[in-house]
Structure 1
Amino acid sequence: MARVRLEHVTKRYDDQGDVVTAVDDMNLDIAHGEFICFVGPSGCGKSTTMETIAGLTIPTEGEIYIGDREVTNLPPKDRGIAMVFQNIALFPHMDVYDNISFGLRLRDYPQDEIDRRVERAADIVQLEGMLERMPEEMSGGQRQRVAIARAIVREPDVFLMDEPLANLDAKLKVHMRTELQRLHKELDTTIIYVTHDQEEAMTLSDRIAVLDSGSLQQIDPPLTCYNEPDNLFVAGFIGSPSMNFVEGTVTEDALETPNFSLAFDPSSIEGVSVGDSVTLGIRPEDIYPADLREEVADPSGIIQARTDILEPMGDEIFAYLLLGDGETSMSQELATNDQLLMSIDPDSDIEEEDEVGVVIDRRNVHLFDSASGEAIVHDLRPVGTDSTTSGSEVETDD
């Protein structure tokens, strides 16, 4: 069984007398056969965490288990893992067959076993008929498949992949994501994948481990991280474009922000009290032009805004909205409270500089504690409310 466990793993470095904590008290339990993505901004600790699993870095504290074995201090060759890196690093003077089989030949495997494993790996990654080609004769995606096949022939307990698609063009990335999903199904093995690309993480993984500053922020299925983020960092990092954030204060019957009021009953939601300073989070796709209000399950009152910039994306348009007296110039940066980003239909007749009214779907409003950043609630409807009947009962906010 290729279960992977990290128990209180910490990695510190001495940087010219200053102690830098790259990984801070990491606890993870990855089941056999899971596809887990480590995702986060540069410097968040995702690659260092993977390196401790691989044995390339020894943790300062904590233990690492692969299967039933503690491997914390074992060298990489004894851990039952195989790695695929961002840098493909094929031997340019060897053909595909020799590149794939190189590790097996070093370990003196019988020739018939080498042939069997190479043929199986080539079949899995669709390299049939290419085993005699040289790396220079292959595309970037084909070379990456050779690197993956080189890992497959080792028949490891765990695959570790460190941004293997980062150097590919956009179209090839999409294709290779599909290939990796097919590979996971074919091998039924554990894959731990490092990426800064949240789209890769959302589409590939069974669960996402979101890291920031060396700490694990949330580990959950992709849609749970998207719909129910544990804190402001996860809410802002997962999703493209990012979630809108607006600071506000809870009153007896509303959330008051600098530019609008969002009516709700604080007493109906656990963890919310009058006077609390909170941050409202709302995704662009949960903001609608006011003329679509009847189609929204639980609309807020109408919020007045002015369109600033429109970005056509093909299947949608991103509309940047200015609230209140918000003005823009090349030398001025808008405050978060003065703008919203809305996703609208590509056939919309909204134009730049239009005065528009918009509504927010109250079902998908997230509230976070402004001080701690921790999530309070992900739905402003009172418990037990039927979202299909509430839309017509909401009054316009003033």
Structure 2
Amino acid sequence: MARVTLDHVTKRYEDVVAVNDMNLDIKDGEFVCLVGPSGCGKSTTMETIAGLTKPTEGTIHIGDTDVTRLPPKDRGVAMVFQNIALFPHMDVYENISFGLRLRNYDKEEIDRRVDEAADVVQLEGMLDREPNELSGGQQQRVAIARAIVRNPDVFLMDEPLANLDAKLRVHMRTELQRLHKELDTTIIYVTHDQAEAMTMSDRIAVLNAGELQQIDPPLVCYNEPTNRFVAGFIGSPSMNFVEGNVVENGVETDNFEVGFDPAGIPSLAVGDQVSLGIRPEDVYLVDQIEDPDAPHLTDRIDVRTDVLEPMGDEIFVYLLLEEDQETSMEDQGMAGQLLMSVTPDTEIEGDEDVDVVLDRSKIHLFDTATGEALAHGVADLTGIGSEPAAGEVESDS
């Protein structure tokens, strides 16, 4: 095991900056996922750690050793790639032991390490098989075992499950978690799959355009995103965003208002433009909640249902906001709509007028200009509660 530290690492390719001033501190024995859209720099970051790419600026430490200029073989790392790259003419034993044989380990030591690795990845009894006799998941286990036998300080995994089918990916996620627990080693894992990152990681490092946006435990990235990019990238389906302006008693959008005291957010001032974010599971049909006038909920919002997507355990419902109800989702894109998640037994149809409310404790505010997060939840801000619903009389007390 070893700690991995990137200190102001930058990688340029002529006029393209693939990684920009990257600072990462990965703890000994930690499982960290690098996630982000295609071209965000996650694989380049991995390659600089492995030694396959030299950084233009900055330093890389593995443990107490500065490995910035060391070749890959001297860094104490082992890589598992998206392309499994097994030798088709070698059996499982020969594939796993290939690196050890190149380094002239004695036969007894090779046998011991191969047997231990095969036991860890559950390949006992398969050492004499050819790769074409194995399933996709078994082939991936061979690639992982090939890395294990080297006893590396750090495992580097670059989308190792991307070529597997969906069911097998879920199974292999569990296998990798078990592997990490059993080996108690440092793992750095590149993926674009949020499910992999959320379920396996101790922490997620979210990258965009070569820059680190946030590195935190999965639920922190989900519940307290540092900026709008992280909020929109983490979570499937994505967070809803609605543009609005700060007024004296909250935020006003083109279609609804959210009441709270802006003074409770020091960086907020009346007139500021903000993006209001709310996840689909925090949008509720009024007919489905016990107290639609509860203080943590917004006023009712008139919407019309557009497209329904049954997913088995839930239904995704695309809602057209009042001003845009005459414009289909196809014509207006993501503007003027909300996505709501409801239970599969919900009686709801397309082109139906309904009322919804938002959970103010789950509303996020982001600066429109910078994208930086301003607040995570506005229900507890003093001064303003939810405005009374239509027809409700406020108490004089």
Q: How many Å separate the matches in 2 of 1:240 and 1:331?
A: 20
Where does the alignment leave 5 or more consecutive residues of structure 2 unmatched?
392-397
Tell me the CA shift for residue 36 of structure 1: 0.3
Tell me the CA shift for residue 248 of structure 1: 0.2
Q: How many Å separate the matches in 2 of 1:384 and 1:90?
A: 62
SS in 1 for 2:68: coil
- The change in CA–CA distance for 1:39 and 1:143 in structure 2 (over 3 A counts) is same
- Asked if residue 371 in structure 1 is aligned to residue 369 in structure 2, the reply is yes
2:40 to 24, 41, 44: 44
- The change in CA–CA distance for 1:44 and 1:166 in structure 2 (over 3 A counts) is same
1:319-367 Cα shifts (integer Å, max 9, x gaps): 000002323458623352x100000011111111110000000000000
1:57-91 Cα shifts (integer Å, max 9, x gaps): 00000000000000000000000000000000000
Q: How many Å separate the matches in 2 of 1:311 and 1:193?
A: 32
> In the alignment, what sits opposite 1:82?
78
> In the alignment, what sits opposite 2:312?
314
Where does the alignment leave 5 or more consecutive residues of structure 1 unmatched?
none
> In the alignment, what sits opposite 1:186?
182
> In the alignment, what sits opposite 2:114?
118
> In the alignment, what sits opposite 1:59?
55
Equivalent residues of 2:261, 2:382 under 8 A apart: no
Tell me the CA shift for residue 200 of structure 1: 0.7
Equivalent residues of 1:266, 1:272 under 8 A apart: yes
> In the alignment, what sits opposite 1:382?
380
- The change in CA–CA distance for 1:31 and 1:295 in structure 2 (over 3 A counts) is farther
Equivalent residues of 1:45, 1:211 under 8 A apart: yes
1:370-394 Cα shifts (integer Å, max 9, x gaps): 0000000001023589xxxx99x65
5 Å-filtered alignment, 1:235-384, equals 235-294=231-290, 298-326=296-324, 327-329=326-328, 332-334=331-333, 336=335, 338-383=336-381
Q: How many Å separate the matches in 1 of 2:235 and 2:123?
A: 34
5 Å-filtered alignment, 1:118-267, equals 118-267=114-263
Q: How many Å separate the matches in 2 of 1:377 and 1:370?
A: 13
Q: What is the total number of aligned residue pairs between the two structures? A: 388
Tell me the CA shift for residue 295 of structure 1: 5.4
TM-score (norm. length: structure 2): 0.95
SS in 2 for 1:294: coil
Q: How many Å separate the matches in 2 of 1:379 and 1:215?
A: 27
> In the alignment, what sits opposite 2:12?
12
CA RMSD between the two structures? 1.7
> In the alignment, what sits opposite 1:395?
388
Q: How many Å separate the matches in 2 of 1:310 and 1:184?
A: 40
Tell me the CA shift for residue 103 of structure 1: 0.4
- The change in CA–CA distance for 1:149 and 1:335 in structure 2 (over 3 A counts) is closer
Q: How many Å separate the matches in 2 of 1:397 and 1:159?
A: 59
Tell me the CA shift for residue 270 of structure 1: 2.8
1:246-298 Cα shifts (integer Å, max 9, x gaps): 00001111211011111111122332221111000000000000123435761
Equivalent residues of 2:361, 2:380 under 8 A apart: no
Amino acid at match of 2:60: I
> In the alignment, what sits opposite 2:394?
none
Q: How many Å separate the matches in 1 of 2:224 and 2:329?
A: 36
TM-score (norm. length: structure 1): 0.94
Amino acid at match of 1:178: T
Amino acid at match of 2:333: L
- The change in CA–CA distance for 1:302 and 1:329 in structure 2 (over 3 A counts) is closer
- The change in CA–CA distance for 1:282 and 1:126 in structure 2 (over 3 A counts) is same
- Asked if residue 96 in structure 1 is aligned to residue 92 in structure 2, the reply is yes
Q: Percent identity?
A: 71
Please, which moves more after superposition, 125-134 or 323-332?
323-332
SS in 2 for 1:325: helix
SS in 1 for 2:80: strand
